[in-house]
Structure 1
C-alpha cells in the first residue's frame, strides 16, 4: 500500500475516532488535535483553524500531563480531570498519555482522552440507603486507606468541627458525611444535604431557612465548588452570624482545595472556615480490595429481599472487576450490579455472558487472560451456548445500546439522531422513554 494511501487512512481514523487525541512534538508544539478533542474543549473547526494559524489553540502544555510525560518519559494512565470548556460546558475526561519514540529517540507525546461526562453525572447520585441510616458500621470497605478515612471522620464527629471532604463523585462521600452526623455524641436533630450543582439561589435560600432553627442541624454542602465565590462567602457570613446554634457544616469538593483556590473556584474565606481540616476519600481504583466486600454485601441484600440464589461472581468476572479502573467508583459498581441483578433468575454466580453490553464495551481494552475472549470479540457476538439469552432481552439490549450511542454522537439532539437512524422523532422519543421507564422500574424494584 502506498505511503499517501496509508496517510489518508491514518487521518481518517484519527478524525473519526471516539477518543480525543492530542499529539505534541518534543518541544511541546502541537502536531495533532483531532475533531473529538476540539469538541471536548468546546472549540469549533473554524475557531481552531484561526487559532492554529496564530499557534494558539487553548491548550497549554505547561499545565497539562503532556509536558510531564515529555520531561519524565513515563506514561500517565487513567488520569481523571473535570473542567469547563470554552462553551461553558462541564466536561470530565479519563486520559492516557504516552511518550512517543522514533528509533529509541523521544520525539513527542500523545494523549488519548475518553469522555465520561454523562457517566459522571450519573455518579453524582448517592449510594443506595437501603432504608436505614448511613452509619460507619454499614460501610463495607476493608482497605487501610478507608479505615483511616473513617478514623479521621470519627475524630471530626467527636470534636464537632467543620470539615471538607475531598474526592471524586461516586466514592461514597455522602456516606462519610452522614456517618459523621450519626457518630455525634450529642446528636443533631436533622441532616440536610445542600446540592450545590443546582440553582445556587435555592441553596442559599435553603440554608437561610434552616440555619435560624433552634434545632441542631448537620449541613452537608455537596460539591460546594459549583457555587460562585460570592455564594460561598455568603455561606461563611451566615455561619458566622449564627454561632449561637450548634449546627455542623460539612462540605465536599471534587479535587484538591488548594488547586480549586488557585483556579478561583473555592473561596479562601470558606476554606479557612474549615480550619484546614480535610479528609481525602480515595478513588476505588486505588483501593480495589474494597470491591468484593461491596459486591458481597449487595448480593446478600438481594438474597434477603428477593429470595434469589445469587452468591457472587465467577472467578472470570471477579478478575474483570479487579482489572477495571471504575472511573465512576462505587456508584458505577452499584449501577452495574443493578443491571446484572435485573436479569437474575435461578443463577448462583454471575458469569461473563451475563455482563451488560455497555460494560463489555468498556472492558474491551482490559488485558487479562480471563477476559481475553471478551476483549477480542465484538460485544454482540455470541461465542458459545452459555451466552445465549432470550431473544427479546438480547434485542432490547442491542437497541438500547445502539440508541444511547447514537444520542452520544449527536450530543443528545433527538431530531438529528432520529434523522441519522431513519426513524421519526416521536418514535425515537418513545424508545428513549421506554428505556428510561425500564431502568426506573428496575431501580425501584431493587430498592
Structure 2
C-alpha cells in the first residue's frame, strides 16, 4: 500500500494550521499559516502565538475540550479559529473569512437596498411586474396585486404560468413582450365583483443588460377616474345642449336611445320595458334601480323620448364624477361674486327646462346637496350660487341608483325624504345573471355593432366561449358583456369566430374563478348551498318569507309589512324586485 505523505497534506491545506504548546510557543506551522501571519520557518520556534492574537485567547488553552468557531482579527483580516487539544499541545486551525464577511456585508447591503426599492415601488400608483427569461416573476408590487386581485407574496418567485394558471399565455402582454422582444401597449376595461368598471393602460418593455435581453417588465396604470373626469369635461364642453339654453323646441335633444334599442328576449325584461313605457306618459319623478352596467341610462333616455318632453333637452350628469362643491355649481348654476372667478352661468337644471334631467348614481351625491335637490323638487324653483333671485324651472327628474335604496338610506348615502320624492315611479332592472336567456341576443347585437364599426368580419362565438358566457356571473352586466365582445373582435386575426384565446387574460382568470365556484356548489357535502351562493340563498329565503306573509295577511301589503318588520314602501320595492304578484 502506497504511503501517504502527511507533510504534503499539511502544507497544501487552505486553512492555516499551527501547533503550539501550553505556553503559546509555536512549534509548527503550515505554509498557509506562514503566509497569513508573515512568519519565517527559521524563527518559528522563537515566536509566541500571543504575538499574533490577543492574550485574552490564552484562556482557551487552559481547557482540554475542543473549541470551535472562535472569532478573531489579525490586522484587517477576519479569522475563524478552532482549537483541538492533544497531549500537552494544541492544534490551531484558522480560516480566513475576510472575503466571506465582505460578501456577507455586501449581500446585506443589497438586501436592504432591494427592500428599500421594493418599498418605494409599492407606493407607486402604477402596477409593476417584472419577469426573467424563464418567465419567473422577479417583482410584483401592491398596486398590480390590487388590479389582479392577487397577494404579491403569493406570486413572487413563481413562474408566470404557475402564478396565473387560468390565463392563456398568448393573451398576456408580458409574455408576448418576452416572446417577441418588443415593447407593447394595451388598454383594457374589466369589472370587479361589485360590477365597477376598471380601465387600465399597460406598457411592457424588454429588460436588457447591455445588448442581452434578461427579461420583461409591465407597467400598468389605473386610469378609471381620469377617464371618467375626461369624459365629463369633454361632454360638458362639447355638448351644445349645455352651452345654449333651449328657448324653443329642438329636434336634437341630446339622446341616442329609444325603447326599440333595448335588446332582450326574457319575460322579466319585457315587463320592465312595458312598465317604463307606461312611466313615459307622465312627468312624475322616476327612480331607476339596477346594478352597474344594466342599462339604466338607456331606459332613462327611452322614457324621455317617449314622453311629452321628447322635443326638449335631455341632460345627464353622473353624481359620482365630480366633487360635491363642483357638482353643486354645475347643477344650480353660478352668479358673479359667488366665488373667485365665478361668472353668470346657467346650471344643468335650468338648461333642462321643459325637458328631463338624469342624475346618475344619486347615492354618490353628498347629503347636503341632496337636501338642496329635495327643495328644488318640492318648490320647482332654484337659486344660483351667490344669487338671491329664485328661478322657476319645469324639469322632470329621473334618478338612478346602483344598490338597494333602503340599504343606501340605512348607510347614510341617501336621504329617506329624497328617496320618497324621487321614487314616485320605481323601475327595477334585473342584473344579467338573472336573465341569461338575453345573453345570446345581446351577443348577436354587439357582434353586428362592433364588427361594422371596426371593419372586422365576425359571424359568431364558438360553442366553448358561449358556454363560458352563459355560466359567467357578469358582475359588470351588459356593459361588461359589450366590452368583452369588443375586446375579442380587436384580437381577431383573419378568423370569423371568437375563440377562447381571443378573451382577455383578465376575463379568462375571472371566468375560471366563477367556474370553480359553480363547480364547488355541486359537491354533495355542500348540499345545503346547492341552490346557489349565499346572496342567492338569502334572496330565495326573502322571497319565500314575503310570499308566506302575504298569504297570512290575505294579500294586505301593509299588514304583511308589519308582520315582516318592514315598511309598506320597502315591501312594495321587494315585490317589484322579485316580481311577486300581490294576492
Tell me by how many angstroms 1:357 deviates: 1.6
Tell me by how many angstroms 1:358 deviates: 1.6
**Larger RCO (CA under 8 A, 6+ residues apart):** 1
Matching residue within 170, 173, 197 for 2:296:
173
Matching residue within 469, 475, 478 for 1:327:
475
User: Gapped runs of 5+ residues in structure 1?
Assistant: 1-35, 41-91, 95-114, 372-447
Write out aligned runs for 1:224-235 (5 A). Answer: 224-235=362-373
TM-score, length of structure 2 as denominator length: 0.41
Contact 1:229 1:267 in 2 (8 A): yes
Contact 1:188 1:215 in 2 (8 A): no
Q: Secondary structure at the match of 1:221?
A: strand
User: Which residue number corresponds to residue 138 of structure 1?
Assistant: 261
Relative to 1, partners in 2 of residues 1:132 and 1:315: Cα closer, same or farther, differing over 3 Å? farther
User: Which residue number corresponds to residue 31 of structure 2?
Assistant: none
Write out aligned runs for 1:47-446 (5 A). Answer: 94=193, 119=198, 133-197=256-320, 198-208=322-332, 209-213=347-351, 215-242=353-380, 245-367=393-515
Relative to 1, partners in 2 of residues 1:203 and 1:327: Cα closer, same or farther, differing over 3 Å? same
Aligned length: 257
Structure 2 Cα separation of the partners of residues 273 and 248 of structure 1: 12
Structure 1 Cα separation of the partners of residues 351 and 449 of structure 2: 37
Structure 1 Cα separation of the partners of residues 224 and 469 of structure 2: 19
User: Gapped runs of 5+ residues in structure 2?
Assistant: 1-141, 147-190, 200-222, 232-253, 333-346, 382-391, 520-583
Relative to 1, partners in 2 of residues 1:214 and 1:318: Cα closer, same or farther, differing over 3 Å? closer
Structure 1 Cα separation of the partners of residues 301 and 255 of structure 2: 11
1:250-274, Cα deviation, whole Å (9 max, x unpaired) = 1111212122222221112211212
Contact 1:188 1:216 in 2 (8 A): no
Relative to 1, partners in 2 of residues 1:186 and 1:331: Cα closer, same or farther, differing over 3 Å? closer
Contact 2:352 2:395 in 1 (8 A): no
Please report the RMSD computed on the Cα atoms of aligned residues, expressed in angstroms: 3.2
Q: Secondary structure at the match of 1:346?
A: coil
Contact 2:291 2:431 in 1 (8 A): yes
Tell me by how many angstroms 1:181 deviates: 1.1
Relative to 1, partners in 2 of residues 1:228 and 1:253: Cα closer, same or farther, differing over 3 Å? same
1:267-294, Cα deviation, whole Å (9 max, x unpaired) = 1221121254211111111111111111
Tell me by how many angstroms 1:228 deviates: 2.0
Structure 2 Cα separation of the partners of residues 122 and 326 of structure 1: 19
Q: Secondary structure at the match of 1:194?
A: strand
1:288-313, Cα deviation, whole Å (9 max, x unpaired) = 11111111111112343344331111
Contact 1:167 1:283 in 2 (8 A): yes
User: Which residue number corresponds to residue 433 of structure 1?
Assistant: none
Tell me by how many angstroms 1:245 deviates: 4.0
Relative to 1, partners in 2 of residues 1:203 and 1:214: Cα closer, same or farther, differing over 3 Å? closer
Contact 1:191 1:218 in 2 (8 A): yes
Q: Larger % of helix: which? A: 1
User: Which residue number corresponds to residue 395 of structure 1?
Assistant: none
Structure 2 Cα separation of the partners of residues 358 and 298 of structure 1: 20
Contact 1:188 1:218 in 2 (8 A): no
Tell me by how many angstroms 1:178 deviates: 1.0
Structure 2 Cα separation of the partners of residues 199 and 330 of structure 1: 28
Relative to 1, partners in 2 of residues 1:276 and 1:185: Cα closer, same or farther, differing over 3 Å? closer
TM-score, length of structure 1 as denominator length: 0.52
Contact 1:195 1:203 in 2 (8 A): no
1:137-178, Cα deviation, whole Å (9 max, x unpaired) = 011122112111111111111012111111111111111111
